[in-house]
Chains A and B, each alone.
Chain A
Amino acid sequence: DQQVKQNSPSLSVQEGRISILNCDYTNSMFDYFLWYKKYPAEGPTFLISISSIKDKNEDGRFTVFLNKSAKHLSLHIVPSQPGDSAVYFCAAQGGSEKLVFGKGTKLTVNP
């Protein structure tokens, strides 16, 4: 049973445009959500997080939106840059210390 789902395994975007990465969850106990970026053969790097009391959190080019009623969150990257090309993992936490990860979305930003 996959509690955190990233239904798009890959996404390709033109440099300068917006990248939108989506994530759905099923566990209503989740109250903290995070996005991580990962390059091959490296550990994930924390990008941005949001708690369930908010519906938006912005940090530079990265904005995370949370829709609790739909159990959906998204990561917006504007403007997208070639260096943003990586695998992006959505993660959720609630009720315990464990982070539950989605399967990741591979983002490719084309120059």
Chain B
Amino acid sequence: GAVVSQHPSWVICKSGTSVKIECRSLDFQATTMFWYRQFPKQSLMLMATSNEGSKATYEQGVEKDKFLINHASLTLSTLTVTSAHPEDSSFYICSGRKGVITEAFFGQGTRLTVV
């Protein structure tokens, strides 16, 4: 299968600072990238969908000014958590898809802890 690399795998930051998470598709061009958040013992919650070169589409309840998503190329998408607070601590996962009706491939996830 295709490979999606997510970096960093874990990060600890102080409350009020911003954190950037990168998601790269290493061996395919991801026309669409998705960002998810997973709380303990819960399912993956889709935060936003982004297509290369266009603005991300955010799910209801997700603050677009807080979770900035950039999909500047077919192989790179970034999620920036701005002015992070302890309640933003979570496991963030990205995925990339080659086309519309294909499986999505996931990165290894980023554990964010805001102290």
Residues in A lying within 8 Å of B, measured CB to CB:
32, 34, 36, 41-46, 49, 51, 89, 93, 97-104
Contact = CB atoms under 8 A, between A and B. Distances in A.
B49 A97 contact: yes
Contacts of B97: 97
Interface in B75-97: 91, 93-95, 97
Interface of B: 1, 4, 6, 32, 34, 42-44, 46, 49, 91, 93-95, 97, 100-101, 103-109, 111
A34 to B, nearest CB: 6
A42 B97 CA distance: 18
Given A97-B49, A99-B34, A46 B43 contact: no
B44 A89 contact: yes
A44 B43 contact: no
Contacts, number: 51
Contacts of B6: 43
A43 B43 contact: no
A42 B94 CA distance: 11
Given A41-B109, A45-B106, A46-B1, A32 B43 contact: no
Contact of B43 (A89, A93, A97, A98): A89
Contact of B103 (A49, A98, A101): A49
A44 B91 CA distance: 12
15 contacts: A34-B103, A36-B106, A42-B109, A43-B93, A43-B95, A43-B108, A44-B93, A44-B95, A45-B1, A46-B106, A98-B46, A99-B46, A100-B46, A101-B44, A104-B43
Most B C-beta atoms less than 10 A away, residue of A43, A45, A103: A43
Contact of B4 (A32, A43, A100): A43
Contacts of A103: 42-43
B31 to A, nearest CB: 9
